[in-house]
């Protein structure tokens, strides 16, 4: 049985064995922090995307979607501050030649220290935060030296100075390599939304407040990428930028905090698994920011960021593109009795990592159950996904191939497959097939047997309780549809 400590390795191997997630380029020994989604992973991912899209776009009349390109004009990243600021302080160990994010190295040390002294551990973290907020790199190195923090690989304290390292991947546009042709793989999807703000507002006749939502790939050259799909170099984000009238950003920020936390709770995940982490040190573009953290197998970590980004991005793009990014608000300002007029809108951003959400859902669903009886040792691994996220909704299992049972099963398959994803399987014993469906997280299995031929009933088996009941085959589709609502 996996303990909390080895739950993550257990999830990783389960994902590979059952076709959810594979290391990228597996036959070439993988590519660090890059992963491929297999046949069931891709369904899980799609269901999470659909749930987010539905709740953000379909359920809000004033939010529309966008799919902007990954490649964008390089000046965008100058304007956004990514060329100059999107970097992390790093330090190299001269013996192991390994590079570390300074905050991760110190946090790792503080975590070990906490076993002996909570206070000492907290004190280091407070000093670190102070030094980071002052960009005091010499001070950070001194902190590492003073506490004799060792490289986990070489075990030595032979450190370089602390330096900034930009996280953007660059590449060349066109056939001739030249500095002026350098473009970047986007490190976030947000900027694609900002530079399309007026296109969408004008073509969609959108009135403030309104939002633009986007799901797409982002790329970051993370130095220490670990935690399976928690920190990847190529990942997906689900972001929404909400444009508001200046002065109203505080209330919208609070309102989106509540809405986004509710989305998480609506997945059926208990509230005690989440917490807000309010940022003390704010990014250069923000006037308020927090993370929604989930209790992953490796502890509470960020899954989503909510940021009040002021008018920073639009103002910067106005400056660099020399194109006005203003909105004309003809609503009447009650204090002046006149229209609000032209302004650069403020922005509230909600940004959630799709892959991190998949890890969250897997962590919550992964369950090992001991089913031993005095007569027999037994256990099962079951993924208790919420019904709407389960890759396969219904497995249709004829008891045997012959006697016309597979024909009846295929009839049911044809009746249901337009409404939800069904899986047909006729190999192996029923017991083995049930266990396999448990491991894939399929909430319903239906068995077609000889009695089906006589009275049109089937056995439906429920994943979590493992209970079985006989129902009319003609009711199966509606029963599953009902459960998906
Ligand atoms: P972190 O502090 O963990 O590096 P961040 O604060 O830089 O994350 P944001 O820039 O706010 O993250 O991005 C929004 C979301 O995108 C994060 O909450 C996270 O879910 C996801 N995300 C960011 N970086 C990665 C990554 N390297 N791999 C997977 N998901 C990521």
- pLDDT confidence of residue 5: 72
Judgement on whether residues 137 and 281 belong to the same structural domain of the protein: no
Separation of 352 CA from ligand 1 center, angstroms? 8
The CA distance from 232 to 335, in Å, is 50
- The answer to whether residue 421 is domain-embedded is yes
Distance between CA atoms of residues 413 and 408, nearest Å: 9
Distance 355 CA to ligand 1 centre (A): 10
Burial class (CB in 10 A: 0-12, 13-18, 19+), 4: exposed
Residue of minimum CA distance from atom 29 in ligand 1:
231
Give 317 Cα–ligand 1 centroid separation in angstroms: 23
Please report whether residue 275 resides in a domain: yes
Same domain, 78 and 99: no
Q: Where are the beta strands (DSSP E) in 103-209?
A: 163-166, 170-172, 182-184
Which of 229, 356, 358 most suits a substitution to test ligand 1, by most atoms within 8 Å of the C-beta? 356
Closest protein CA for atom 1 of ligand 1: 302
Looking at the structure, do residues 16 and 150 belong to the same domain, yes or no? Answer: no
- Cα separation of 199 and 89, whole Å? 37
Residue 373 forms part of a structural domain: no
Question: Residues 21, 131: one domain?
Answer: no
What's the total number of domains in the chain?
3
Tell me the CA–centroid distance for residue 217 and ligand 1, in Å: 12
CA distance 107 to 120: 12
Q: How far is the CA of 406 from the centre of ligand 1 (A)?
A: 47
The token pair that represents 269 in the structure block: 């995940």
Of 163, 191, 212, which residue constitutes the final position of a domain? Answer: 163
* Residue bearing the CA closest to ligand 1, atom 9: 305
Residue 383 resides in a domain = no
Map residue 383 onto helix, strand or coil.
strand
Name the residue of 213, 284, 292, 302 whose CB sits within 8 Å of the most ligand 1 atoms, as the mutation to test its pocket.
Answer: 302
Asked if residues 223 and 307 have their Cβ atoms less than 8 Å apart, the reply is no
Q: Is 378 exposed, middle or buried (0-12, 13-18, 19+ CB in 10 A)?
A: exposed
175 and 303 share one domain: yes
Ligand 1 nearest atom to the CA of residue 225, by list position: 27
Structure tokens at 77: 């990243």
Which residue's C-alpha comes closest to atom 12 of ligand 1? 305
150 and 198 within one domain: no
Q: How far is the CA of 10 from the centre of ligand 1 (A)?
A: 24
Residue 31, domain member (yes or no): yes
DSSP 397-438: EES-STTTHHHHHHHHHHHHTTTS-EEE--SS-HHHHHHHHH
Residues 13, 72, single domain; the answer is yes
Same domain, yes or no: 31 and 141: no
Last residue of a domain, one of 107, 142, 163: 163
CA-nearest residue for atom 16, ligand 1, is 353
Answer yes or no: do 128 and 188 share one domain.
no
Tell me, yes or no, whether 70 and 129 share the same domain. no
> Of 132, 163, 194, which marks where a domain is finished?
163
- Within this chain, do residues 190 and 135 fall inside the same structural domain, yes or no? no
Residue 101: CATH number of its domain: 3.30.40.230
Residue 337 contacts by C-beta under 8 Å, 6 or more apart in sequence? none
Q: How far is the CA of 109 from the centre of ligand 1 (A)?
A: 22
Measured from CB, residues less than 6 Å from any atom of ligand 1 are 188, 220, 222, 231-232, 235, 237, 302-305, 351-353, 355-356
Residue numbers of the domain that contains 143: 87-163
d(CA 425, CA 436): 10
CATH of the domain at 271: 3.30.930.10
Residue 462 belongs to domain with CATH number: 3.40.50.800
pTM over 0.85: yes
Residue 287 belongs to some domain of the structure:
yes
Burial class (CB in 10 A: 0-12, 13-18, 19+), 296: buried
Is 196 part of any domain?
yes
**Does a structural domain hold residue 376?**
no
- Token match 């953000």: residue? 56
Cα–Cα distance measured from residue 290 to residue 279, given in angstroms and rounded to the nearest whole number: 5
Residues 342 and 396 in one domain: no
Find residue 397's DSSP bridge partners: 447
Q: Please give the chain's pLDDT, 485 residues, in tens.
A: 777 779 999 999 999 999 999 999 999 999 989 999 999 999 999 999 999 999 999 999 999 999 999 999 999 999 999 998 888 899 999 999 998 989 989 999 998 999 889 999 999 999 998 898 788 999 999 999 999 999 999 999 999 999 998 999 999 887 666 666 789 999 999 999 999 999 999 999 999 999 999 999 999 998 777 799 999 999 999 999 999 999 999 999 999 999 999 999 999 999 999 999 999 878 888 999 999 999 999 999 999 999 999 999 999 999 999 999 999 999 999 999 999 999 999 999 999 999 999 999 999 999 999 999 999 999 999 999 999 999 999 999 999 888 889 999 999 999 999 999 999 999 999 999 999 999 999 999 999 999 999 999 999 999 999 999 999 999 999 999 999 98
At 20 the pLDDT is 98
């Amino acid at each position: 049985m996996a303990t909390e400590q080895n739950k993550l390795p257990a999830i990783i191997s389960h994902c590979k064995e059952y076709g959810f997630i594979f290391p990228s380029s597996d036959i070439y020994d993988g590519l660090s922090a890059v992963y491929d989604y297999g046949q069931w992973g891709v369904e899980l991912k799609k269901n999470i995307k659909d749930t987010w899209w539905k709740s953000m776009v379909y359920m809000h009349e004033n939010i529309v979607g966008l799919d902007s390109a990954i490649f964008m004009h390089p000046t965008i990243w100058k304007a956004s501050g990514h060329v100059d600021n999107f970097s992390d302080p790093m330090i190299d160990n001269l013996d192991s030649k390994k590079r570390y994010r300074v905050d991760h190295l110190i946090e790792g040390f503080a975590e070990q220290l906490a076993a002996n002294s909570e206070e000492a551990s907290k004190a280091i973290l407070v000093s670190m935060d102070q030094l980071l907020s002052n960009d005091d790199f010499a001070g950070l190195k001194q902190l590492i030296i003073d506490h004799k923090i060792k490289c986990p690989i070489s075990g030595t304290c032979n450190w370089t100075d602390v330096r900034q390292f930009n996280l953007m991947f660059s590449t060349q546009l066109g056939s001739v390599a030249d500095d002026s042709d350098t473009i970047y793989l986007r490190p976030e999807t947000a900027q694609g939304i900002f530079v399309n703000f007026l296109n969408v507002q004008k073509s969609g006749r959108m009135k403030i407040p309104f939002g633009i939502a986007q799901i797409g790939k982002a790329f970051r050259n993370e130095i220490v990428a670990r935690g399976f799909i928690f920190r990847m170099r190529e990942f997906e984000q689900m972001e929404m930028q909400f444009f508001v009238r200046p002065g109203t950003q505080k209330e919208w920020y609070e309102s989106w905090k509540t809405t986004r936390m509710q989305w998480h709770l609506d997945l059926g995940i208990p509230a005690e698994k989440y917490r807000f982490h309010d940022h003390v040190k704010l990014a250069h573009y923000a006037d308020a920011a927090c993370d929604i953290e989930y209790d992953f197998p490796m502890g509470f970590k960020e899954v989503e960021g909510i940021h009040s980004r002021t008018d920073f991005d639009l103002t910067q793009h106005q400056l660099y593109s020399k194109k006005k990014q203003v909105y004309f608000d003809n609503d009447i300002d009650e204090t002046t009795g006149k229209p609000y007029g032209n302004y650069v809108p403020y922005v509230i951003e909600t940004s959630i990592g799709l892959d991190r959400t998949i890890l969250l859902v897997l962590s919550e669903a992964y369950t090992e159950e001991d089913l031993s009886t005095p007569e027999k040792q037994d256990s099962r691994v079951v993924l208790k996904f919420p019904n709407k996220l389960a890759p396969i909704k219904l497995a249709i299992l004829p008891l045997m191939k012959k006697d016309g049972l597979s024909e009846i099963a295929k009839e049911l398959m044809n009746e249901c497959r337009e409404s939800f994803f069904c899986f047909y399987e006729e190999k192996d014993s029923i017991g083995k097939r049930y266990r396999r469906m448990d491991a894939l997280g399929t909430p319903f299995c239906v068995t077609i047997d000889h009695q089906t031929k006589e009275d049109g009933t089937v056995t439906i088996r429920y994943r979590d309780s493992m209970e079985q009941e006989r129902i009319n085959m003609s009711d199966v589709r509606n029963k599953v549809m009902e459960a998906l609502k």
